[in-house]
């Protein structure tokens, strides 16, 4: 392998333009993008012109790209709608490539299992795009959890609540392509960071309820941050809630919405309750700046501690967020140095398994045992 990792992008839409390509460009010392694939050729051409290495190639069919011996690449980034994650990832592993797949791993457990099987057979690297682990607040809290400063974390809440911020672009409301709405889209991030903090990946049972209330109302779109949506094409849930019981008795409450008549909105946030202390992360929506708050007892007094805002310096330019740049940096390092990526496929599999079980529980009205 050359000193730089050669990357192929499949899907040149929103997430590729907002995160993957600018973050790879910010890591130009480690990576170059040599192939761009999208079912809309103009989109791939535009991406290649903006982010491509010299002589970068453009495709409309990922199978054709994987078979083309005239272009060499090491890793495929899968940035497509959720239901396409599985077939593209498997094909990339079969072609001998490393894979970074955008979150969630898959839209259901069966597809996620197929992806795990293909990865294990390939001997290649595999990671999922959970960039929120690379934020300052989450990495700080994770270090606290690793040191046991919160004690045993036996109750947690995973927050992904928007008041009125339904995405009105791309294929977000399309159930056939996405597999679901806010639960699978933003609930996945909140659940990922919560499980990661707890270092607990052994769910036993899941019960949940999914709602289709505001999305399909004729007057529902009023006040939406991203402009009105079309109730006729809004096929996915607008909110979802789940209760997850773990093997060791720990319990997680997950809440996710794109539209919910609630005052406080936050996403990729978590509340942790441990035997020694508690902690909360507030991110997104109602919070202009990320907040990390620890709650403890000192000298018989209830105490709260926060990160000083003086410690935050935003030095990344060019449309790439700090966490996106860090995510790509460690992923490129994992490939170049043959190390483990931070987000492990087995962890991402459990996230998909739980989300899938919440949908199934809501459909059947029963608790789902895993």
Show me where the domains of the chain are located: 5-131, 133-331+345-369
Indicate whether 74 pLDDT > 80.
Answer: yes
Residue 221 pLDDT class (50, 70, 90 cuts): confident
Q: Mean pLDDT of all residues in the chain?
A: 94
Q: What is the pLDDT of residues 311-352, one digit of tens each?
A: 444 444 445 689 999 999 999 999 999 999 999 999 999 999
Q: What is the pLDDT of residue 320?
A: 63
CB 162 within 8 A of CB 155: no
Q: Which residues of 156-195 are buried (b: 16+ CB within 10 A; e: fewer)?
A: bbbbbbbbbbbbbeebbbbeebbbbbbbbbbbbbbbbbbb
In sequence order, the 6+-apart residues with CB closer than 8 A to the CB of 87 are none
* Predicted local confidence at residue 79, as pLDDT: 97
Report the distance separating Cα 351 and Cα 370, nearest Å.
Answer: 12
Sole residue written with tokens 């949940």: 208
**d(Cα 300, Cα 292) in Å, to the nearest integer?**
22
CA separation, residue 72 to residues 1, 178, 304, 333 (Å): 10, 30, 53, 19
Tokens encoding 86: 């599985």
The whole-number average pLDDT for the span 129-158 is: 97
pTM over 0.85: yes
- Same fold? 5-131, 133-331+345-369: no
CA distances, 44 to each of 12, 36, 238 (Å): 6, 5, 31
pLDDT greater at residue 309 or residue 39: 39
Domain 5-131 has CATH 3.40.50.720: yes
**CB-based contact 263:128 (threshold 8 Å):** no
Name the CATH architecture for the domain at 133-331+345-369: 2-Layer Sandwich (3.30)
- As a whole number of angstroms, the distance between CA 261 and CA 140 comes to 32
pLDDT at 131 over 90: yes
What pLDDT does residue 176 have? 81
Query: Among residues 157, 171, 345, which one has the least CA distance to residue 256?
Result: 157
Distance of alpha carbon 36 from alpha carbon 10, whole angstroms: 6
pLDDT(87) > 80: yes
Tell me whether strands 98-102 and 203-211 are parallel, antiparallel or unpaired.
Answer: unpaired
pLDDT value, residue 174 = 85
188-220 pLDDT, tens digit per residue, is 999 999 999 999 999 999 999 999 999 988 877
Pairing label, strands 278-284, 287-298: antiparallel
């Amino acid at each position: 392998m050359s000193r730089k990792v050669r990357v192929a992008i499949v899907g040149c839409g929103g997430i590729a333009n907002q995160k993957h390509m600018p973050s790879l460009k910010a890591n130009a010392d480690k990576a170059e993008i040599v192939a761009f694939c999208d079912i809309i050729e103009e989109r791939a051409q535009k991406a290649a012109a903006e982010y491509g290495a010299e002589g970068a190639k453009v495709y409309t069919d990922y199978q054709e790209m994987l078979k083309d011996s005239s272009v060499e690449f090491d890793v495929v980034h899968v940035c497509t709608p959720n239901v396409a994650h599985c077939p593209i990832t498997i094909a990339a592993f079969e072609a001998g490539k490393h894979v970074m797949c955008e979150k969630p791993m898959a839209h259901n457990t069966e597809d996620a299992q197929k992806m795990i099987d293909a990865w294990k057979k390939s001997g290649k690297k595999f990671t999922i795009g959970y960039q929120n682990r690379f934020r300052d607040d989450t990495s700080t809290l994770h270090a606290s959890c690793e040191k046991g400063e919160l004690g045993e974390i036996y109750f947690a809440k995973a927050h992904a609540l928007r008041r009125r911020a339904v995405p009105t672009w791309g294929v977000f409301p399309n159930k056939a392509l996405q597999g679901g709405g806010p639960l699978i889209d933003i609930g996945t991030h909140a659940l990922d960071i919560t499980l990661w903090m707890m270092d607990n990946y052994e769910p036993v049972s899941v019960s949940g309820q999914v709602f289709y209330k505001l999305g399909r109302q004729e007057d529902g779109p009023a006040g939406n941050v991203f402009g009105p949506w079309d109730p006729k094409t809004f096929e996915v849930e607008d909110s979802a809630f789940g209760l997850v019981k773990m093997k060791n008795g720990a319990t997680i409450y997950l809440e996710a919405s794109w539209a919910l008549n609630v005052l406080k909105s936050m996403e990729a946030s978590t509340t942790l309750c441990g035997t020694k202390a508690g902690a909360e992360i507030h991110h997104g929506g109602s919070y202009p700046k990320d907040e990390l708050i620890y709650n403890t007892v000192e000298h018989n007094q209830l105490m709260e501690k926060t990160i000083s805002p003086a410690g935050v310096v935003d030095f990344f330019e060019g449309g790439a967020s700090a966490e996106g740049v860090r995510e790509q940096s460690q992923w490129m390092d994992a490939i170049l140095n043959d190390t483990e990526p931070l987000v492990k496929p087995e962890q991402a599999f459990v996230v998909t398994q739980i989300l899938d079980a919440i949908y199934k529980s809501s459909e059947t009205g029963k608790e789902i045992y895993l």
